[in-house]
């Protein structure tokens, strides 16, 4: 049964399915990060690497 189904599948369509899947998720992500009102939130996140005051001693 499994072999029969697999043997009837046209696997050359796989790249097409993959591209559509990826592009859909990618566009959703772009819409999410570009939403209005989040500029300050992202600006604060971008400064996190600099936010580590520490005291060094021997």
Based on its alpha-carbon atoms, the radius of gyration of the chain, rounded to whole angstroms, reads 23
Tell me the per-residue interface mask from 29 to 48 with another protein, x by CB under 8 A, - otherwise: xx-xxx--xx-xxxxxxxxx
Could you say which of 4, 12, 20, 31 contacts another protein (CB under 8 A)? 12
CA-to-CA dists, residue 38 to 5, 31, 42, angstroms: 48, 12, 6
6: contact with another protein by CB under 8 A: yes
Residues of the shown chain interacting with another protein in the complex, contacts defined by CB under 8 A: 2-3, 6-7, 9, 11-12, 14-15, 18-19, 21-22, 25-26, 29-30, 32-34, 37-38, 40-50, 52-58
């Amino acid at each position: 049964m499994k072999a029969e189904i697999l043997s009837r599948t046209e696997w050359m369509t796989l790249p097409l399915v993959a591209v559509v899947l990826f592009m859909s998720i990618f566009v959703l992500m772009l819409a999410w990060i570009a939403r209005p009102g989040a500029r300050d939130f992202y600006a604060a996140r971008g400064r996190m690497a600099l936010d580590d005051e520490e005291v060094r001693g021997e």
